[in-house]
Amino acid sequence: MALDSSLDSDDELEAVNDIIGCIGEAPVNTLEGEGNVDVANVRRILARVNREVQAKGWTFNIDESAILVPDVFSKFIPWLPTYLSIMTTGGSLYVNRGGYVYDRTSKTDQFEASITVSLIELKAFSEMPEAYRSYIIVKAARRFNIQFFGAPEIEGSLQERESEAWAAVQEFELDFGNYNMLDGDAFTGGAIGR
């Protein structure tokens, strides 16, 4: 089973124990071995939720001016496994094609020069702010309960915890996102420009 390499063993063990603790299961000491089916299911769900949440792009995992450099000989730019999304403001659309960056606008995977992009990159679980880790864990716990147990009393508790964790994520984004309603909103910008 291929699991997310952004989850290192200590962080993943702690997260798995938090999730299985939600359903009343005793904590495990190791993630090695395939003895516990619940642990295997939790690990799979946790990895999926981690990628889903990080793929939305947040202040901690967006590099708005990442420079991707092509190989000197092949002119290819490798698409690293940690790349979740590459966006540009210049109109080019970049996707993963065969493990390399592919420009769908120019229909090429060979680049003569470096490209500057806005890059959403998968970060290690230990490098993420606590608000996001908590949100991912409770979201994975809720999904685990829904898929495998469906206990309504657990669902209610997890739903409340997920709402609180989501509010903490939004607060973090507002605190560290450098958002400005004067230059980030088209309507306000247009009114100022009059």
Decide if 33 is inside a domain.
yes
Provide the domain limits for residue 21: 9-56+125-179
Tell whether the model's pLDDT for residue 26 goes beyond 90: no
Same domain, 108 and 73: yes
pTM of the model: 0.82
**pLDDT for res 76:** 97
| Mean pLDDT of the residues in the chain | 87
| 180-to-44, 57, 176 alpha-carbon distances in Å | 38, 18, 11
List, for residues 40-52, the tens digit of each pLDDT value.
Answer: 899 999 999 999 9
Do 71 and 96 sit in the same domain of this protein? yes
pLDDT score for 190: 57
Does residue 140 register a pLDDT over 70? yes
Report if residue 35 sits inside a domain.
yes
Considering Cα of 18, then 24, then 29, then 33, what sign does the dihedral take? negative
The structural domain count of the chain equals: 2
Based on the domain organization, do 129 and 172 belong to the same domain?
yes
